[in-house]
Amino acid sequence: EVQLLESGGALVQPGGSLRLSCAASGFTFNTAAMKWVRQAPGKGLQWVSAISGSGETTDYADSVKGRFTVSRDNSKNTLYLQMNSLRTEDTALYYCAKDGAGWRIDYWGQGALVTVSS
C-alpha cells in the first residue's frame, strides 16, 4: 500500500523558514517523480514544485522560485521542501504527491499545514 506522510508544518513568522518532509512507502521511491501541491484555505489546488526520481531535475512555480527548494533522499525514501523567505500568501496545506504515468498524480499525502503570520 502506497503511503505518503508529511511532517514539519507549523506557524511561522513572515520572512521565516520551514522544511517539510514526506516519508514515502509502498512503492519504488527512487524511480518515482514527486510533487508538492498546495491549497490555501478555501482556495484551489496549486502546483508548487516537482522533482525527478533521481533528483537531478527540479521545477518550481514562479511564485516560489528562488525561495523554495525541493530535494529528496532516496536512501531514506523521503522528499523535502525547504521554504525560505516565507510570505503570508504561502499559508496553505501542502500536499506531497506521487506522479503516475501521463502527468497525473496517483497518490496524495494527507497534507502539512503551513501558516505564515505575525
Q: Which residues bind other proteins (CB under 8 A)?
A: 35, 37, 44-47, 49-50, 59-63, 65, 95, 100, 102-106, 108-111
All three cell numbers of 80 = 523535502
**Maximum alpha-carbon separation in the chain:** 41
Beta carbon of residue 54, minimum distance to other proteins (angstroms, whole number): 17
Nearer to other proteins, 13 or 110 (CB): 110
Nearer to other proteins, 39 or 78 (CB): 39
d(CA 40, CA 28): 30
Beta carbon of residue 44, minimum distance to other proteins (angstroms, whole number): 4
Would residue 42 be called left, alpha or beta, if left means φ above 0 and alpha means ψ between -120 and 50 degrees? left
Beta carbon of residue 116, minimum distance to other proteins (angstroms, whole number): 21
Residue closest to 86 by CA, chosen among 15, 37, 21, 20: 15
Nearer to other proteins, 56 or 104 (CB): 104
d(CA 103, CA 112): 23
Nearer to other proteins, 12 or 97 (CB): 97
